[in-house]
Structure 1
């Protein structure tokens, strides 16, 4: 009989009550083993070297060494350890430095146990573990940084995507799959999509699996970028 896969997790947070609460929460989740906890970034880096966890749940604003710098050092020294940021803040000044440092997941502290477990599983499998709110923020950032056409010598920037009113969905997507993709791009979770479309969560998951296969994306972050490139940013009318 095959042994269940256990993900070894380290928790880093400077607030004792929060850190202990997260450790307690993770201890209740199947397939997760907490191997240590750190009160700041310096301790997190040292404990990663000692315990070699699969995933670090990383707060950002900590003394001595903040979460972004700790993430950069962990990813540089221990590329087999993934980092999921778990923080109060989702502003650009917190989000983008953490992602540039190598974090593969980003959640805010209002995330529930299911969302945290999903993010850990996602980054463990090589995907991104981003909350719907963060996915939406990335989409907005992409929209704000859409390159303008350039003239003169040199490569020509790709035009900004436009909506596809009345056009055929790309890559053989069905109308329903396109609708689900648009709702993902809006930052909705599977549960919220099911509620919006009056279908069951299993049906939503089937649509997502199908559209991932057709478009070649691996995770929700890539799906958001794909939706933006193809002008799929909301429910078809």
Structure 2
């Protein structure tokens, strides 16, 4: 389909992200059409590597997934734009030409999602250890018991809790557990009957 356009020259294809990097190194194209979900090396990782090795190559993401987190990650990694794979041919052709000029391209269906995500208040992620500490708090453990369970000092437990409180925007253990549950960071095991 792309090769049928007079101003396009398809110089390579790749079945995974690692092969895509090899093709780019060999051919140095103007534009790369990149999928996000690929074996061996995913699209976001491939984009990050391309940005460090070939920053002049424009990457246009084509994906069936309209998950805003994946698209934001791709743009943050250096993608010039993103289209859904079911975009009409003419839209794809225009997007490739725009990407070659260094212009940003974003499917209209994705624009609202991205703006919503960018406008949402930032939520700093909890570390794995902070989640472990909160999970033990949720079970009713004291700081001392948590320290014994995780083989860390009671002071370290308190530090993890303070960091978790700050990230979750709360002031106490109960609120921290409640917010973590609401955000899906913790799951309570229901007792068996």
TM-score of the pair, normalised by structure 1:
0.49
* Bigger Rg, structure 1 or 2: 2
In the alignment, which residue of structure 2 is the partner of 1:56? 32
1:93 positional shift: 2.9
Is 1:130 aligned to 2:106, yes or no? yes
Is 1:93 aligned to 2:74, yes or no? no
Counterparts of residues 74-223 of structure 1 (less than 5 Å)? 74-145=50-121
CA distance in 2, matches of 1:99, 1:83: 9
1:96 positional shift: 1.2
For each residue in 1:101-125, what CA deviation from the matched residue of structure 2 results, as whole angstroms up to 9, or x when unmatched?
A: 1001101111111111111111211
Runs of 5+ unmatched residues, structure 1? 1-24, 147-237
Match of 1:71 among 47, 51, 61: 47
In the alignment, which residue of structure 2 is the partner of 1:205? none
For each residue in 1:2-51, what CA deviation from the matched residue of structure 2 results, as whole angstroms up to 9, or x when unmatched?
A: xxxxxxxxxxxxxxxxxxxxxxx101223111000000000000110000
Runs of 5+ unmatched residues, structure 2? 123-193
Match of 2:4 among 18, 28, 43: 28
Local SS of the residue matching 1:36? coil
1:92 positional shift: 2.1
TM-score of the pair, normalised by structure 2:
0.60
For each residue in 1:178-205, what CA deviation from the matched residue of structure 2 results, as whole angstroms up to 9, or x when unmatched?
A: xxxxxxxxxxxxxxxxxxxxxxxxxxxx
For each residue in 1:139-177, what CA deviation from the matched residue of structure 2 results, as whole angstroms up to 9, or x when unmatched?
A: 22233249xxxxxxxxxxxxxxxxxxxxxxxxxxxxxxx
1:91 positional shift: 0.3
In the alignment, which residue of structure 1 is the partner of 2:160? none
Local SS of the residue matching 2:97? helix
Contact 1:86 1:106 in 2 (8 A): yes
Local SS of the residue matching 1:106? strand
Contact 1:118 1:129 in 2 (8 A): no
CA distance in 1, matches of 2:100, 2:116: 27
Contact 1:37 1:44 in 2 (8 A): yes
CA distance in 1, matches of 2:12, 2:23: 7
